[in-house]
Amino acid sequence: MLTLIRNAKIYAPECLGVQDVLTADSRILKIGPDIPEVREYDVQTIDGTGMLLFPGFIDSHVHILGGGGEGSYHTRTPEIMLTDITTGGVTTVVGCLGTDGTTRNMASLLAKARGLEEEGITTYIYTGSYQIPVRTLTGNLIDDLILIDKAIGCGEIAISDHRSSQPTKEEFARIVGDTRTGGILSGKAGVVNIHMGDGKRMLAYLRYVVEETEIPPSNMLPTHINRSMRLLKEGMDYAKTLGGFLDLTTSSDPDYLEEDEVKASAGLKMLLDEGVPEHQITFSSDGQGSIPIFGKNGEFVGLGVGKVTSLYREVRDAVLTDRVGLTQALKTVTSNPADLLKLERKGRIAAGKDADLVLVQEDTMEIDTVMAKGNLMVYKQKAVRKGTFENL
């Protein structure tokens, strides 16, 4: 099947103006004005007039097996479904374990990732867990990265948090070093995804790695950096002085932020205004983790589930509310995570890249159509491809 998207304004993520895009099988074949429609080749045509065309979004932190469980067994959130991902324009996810590395395990994480891939999107995983020593499939972190195709890094490892295993900075550095080595030997990113708590040590362990070892900051991605203004400011300094990367979490209730929490879109604006290089900033959703739900008067009424769809919500809010440039906002979920995670065929609209594409209405910036590896997943705001058990 060939698909021709006509007359869309392309952000690749840089603006390329109004052009056509031709995809063949799972790849982008050609970009240009007035690409001819050859009827003999059974071309499917999509009218992109009045639309913006973006690369498919990359979500680098999703609890695809479910998360939660911190309020006992009944608070464990369910596994994610395909349309929970695709309706938010996300075409690539990286799955991870959370606090619970016992009832959620690496074998199940890998199986879930493979299942989602069979349903149409691109998936990867982090080997490891909150706790150190990390949970692995082979019994060795480096071996996991070399031998398991989908394992591209380690995480999420918790630090500066009461739920962490309270590792020493040397133990933490060893994990980062082993992850880097496994990445080098397998041609992968070798990135450690780091859960940042609100403890007083903040980014001290990451500073230690950069300042006292030979490991570059590109092998570490601290997430939840916007959980407090104090941590965000610490992140600003870490990024500017040591070249560190920062990940802002989008799954929160924007109407009832926790005390001192910073909305991801506003945090992006602050980081850019303070001079943090744009390529060092990413968004991730923390999707399928548990989040508190509050009533109209701010009272706690129960637990909800973090949404992958929040990823684009914060990109959109960054543009429409916080006045961040569209290209800058898009980079946090496209080219920036693609470069950091070494996903060479992702994150950009260019010939030879994967045909992961998102059409949004230019006037409202609402998602209209989503393609993953050349296949329509969402069309005219309706999920047209669903997961195996979503049609029951």
Catalytic residues: 286
Instruction: Determine how β-strand 375-379 pairs with β-strand 367-372.
Output: antiparallel
Structure tokens at 3: 């698909």
Task: Report the alpha-carbon distance of residue 68 to residue 306 in Å, rounded.
Answer: 10
Phi, psi at 301, each rounded to 5°: -120, -5
Cβ contact 204:165 at 8 Å: no
Query: CA torsion, points 91, 92, 94, 100, in degrees to nearest 10?
Result: 10
Give the Cα separation of 334 and 284 in Å (integer): 11
Contact 26/10 with Cβ under 8 angstroms? no
- Nearest to 86, CA basis, from 275, 287, 256: 287
Helix (H, G, I), strand (E, B) or coil at 30: strand
> Tokens representing 280?
């060092």
Residues 6 or more apart in contact with residue 285 via CB below 8 angstroms: 59, 61, 62, 88, 90, 249, 250, 251, 306, 307, 308, 309, 310, 311
Residue 79, CA distances (Å) to 30, 62, 101, 108, 195 in order: 37, 10, 15, 11, 20
For residue 222, whether the previous peptide bond is cis, meaning omega lies within 30 degrees of 0, is no
Of residues 248, 60, 77, 228, the one with CA closest to residue 155: 60
The whole-angstrom separation of Cα 62 and Cα 45 is: 33
Task: Report which secondary-structure segment, H or E, holds 178.
Answer: helix 169-186
**Max CA-CA distance within the chain?**
65
- Residues making up the chain, counted from first to last: 392
- Give the span between the Cα atoms of 8 and 21, in whole angstroms: 8
